[in-house]
Amino acid sequence: MKEKLEQILVKASAELEAADQPQKLEELRVAYLGKKGELTAILRGMGSLSAEERPLIGAKANEVRTAIEAMIASAGERIKARETERRLAAEKIDVTVPGTPVRMGARHPLTLVRREIEDIFTSMGFSIAEGPEVEFGYYNFDALNTPANHPARDVQDTFYFSGDMLLRTQTSSVQARFMENHKPPLRMICPGAVYRSDDVDATHSPFFHQIEGLIVDKNIGLSDLKGALTQFSQLFFGPETRVRFRPHHFPFTEPSAEMDVSCFACGGSGCRLCKGEGWIEILGAGVVHPNVLRMAGIDPDVYSGYAFGIGQERLALLKYKIDDMRLLFENDTRFLHQFY
Ligand code: PHE
């Protein structure tokens, strides 16, 4: 029986050493120490032993049991440690592997230009206003001294909804709205999209953006307009920039003018950018017509003002030397990524 116990120990030791899974270990524990295990069977058979043999075999059996228990415990530790090691290796993060590139967005050139214009005018004390793109004919035309028979109101030029609703053709509609809700002195700019029934080509689009400006106060005249817009042009295009006003007609301003800036590419001597003229048109402007003030409930004998409308696309094309306006609306990110 003693040899039998020793054999069990040797066998158990070999099997436990080879065990590499928790289930395998549990199987072995049951096989040796369980109720129906080999060691238990021997202990059970001790009744048949002589009185001298019994304590000796009993002691040996206990020794073997303790040894097997210790081996099971250490095999358990070993399996657990190996499992931890395996998991650490499998879950290891290699921080040196190059990451998946995240493509950064870039600001649209129109946004860049709008923000720059906003910065310049807010630094001069203008606030920023907004108005609806779907507008009443009243604000887009009537309140701006543009009577029903004016050609700009033609369906050839303007997108109409039913009734008196249309897509605004100019941000000047916001002038009219702003004067209804604000008492002079007032000073605002309004950037936004406008719509006209135009065919698309390199310099035309049925959808584009303007920035309207309006100031109404006592003793405001053409010289104020000239000063502010000259200052704006020099801040936007550079300190050498000169401006020139050409007489023009807008129903809501009198006198009215279009303003050109000296070409910032050639300084005025004539080049491809300015088409040899030395000058580039950037906006329309004028002294607010007394009828427009009157329509808004402002007394033109007390107050006067000026207004202007800048084409945002035009400034973006000039600033970034883009030669086709369609590029601004096609949203090809390869193109747009050049600006930031
Ligand atoms: N609304 C005019 C246009 O769209 C521009 C303008 C604005 C002119 C304000 C004078 C004053 O052409």
Looking from the CA of residue 306, the nearest atom of ligand 1 is: 11
Q: What is the pLDDT of residues 109-140, one digit of tens each?
A: 999 999 999 999 999 999 999 999 999 999 99
Q: How far is the CA of 58 from the centre of ligand 1 (A)?
A: 112
Q: What is the pLDDT of residues 260-308, one digit of tens each?
A: 999 888 888 988 878 899 998 999 999 999 999 999 999 999 999 999 9
Ligand 1 pocket mutation pick from 121, 139, 146, 210 by most atoms within 8 angstroms of CB: 210
pLDDT of the residue at 49: 83
DSSP assigned state of 104:
P
pLDDT of the residue at 177: 96
Q: What is the pLDDT of residues 45-56, one digit of tens each?
A: 888 888 888 888
pLDDT of the residue at 202: 83
Locate 244 and state its tokens: 């020139």
Q: What angle do CA 271, 272, 277 make, to 5 degrees?
A: 55
CA distance 211 to 311: 7
Measure CA 313 to chain center.
21
pLDDT of the residue at 174: 97
Locate 239 and state its tokens: 């300190």
Name the residue with higher pLDDT: 270 or 167: 167
- For residue 173, report the phi and psi dihedrals to the nearest 5 degrees: -55, -30
pLDDT of the residue at 274: 83
pLDDT of the residue at 36: 87
Per-position DSSP letters for 253-319, written without gaps between them: EEEEEEEEEE-TTTTTS--TTTTTSSEEEEEEEEEEPHHHHHHTT--TTT-EEEEEEEEHHHHHHHH
Average pLDDT of the residues of the chain: 92
The answer to whether the CB of 309 is under 6 A from ligand 1 is: yes
Ligand 1 pocket mutation pick from 140, 150, 170 by most atoms within 8 angstroms of CB: 170
Beta strands in 56-185 (DSSP E): 127-128, 134-136, 165-167
Residues in the chain, overall count = 340
Q: What angle do CA 281, 160, 109 make, to 5 degrees?
A: 40
Q: What is the pLDDT of residues 100-114, one digit of tens each?
A: 888 888 899 999 999
> How far separated are the first and last CA of the chain, in Å rounded?
90
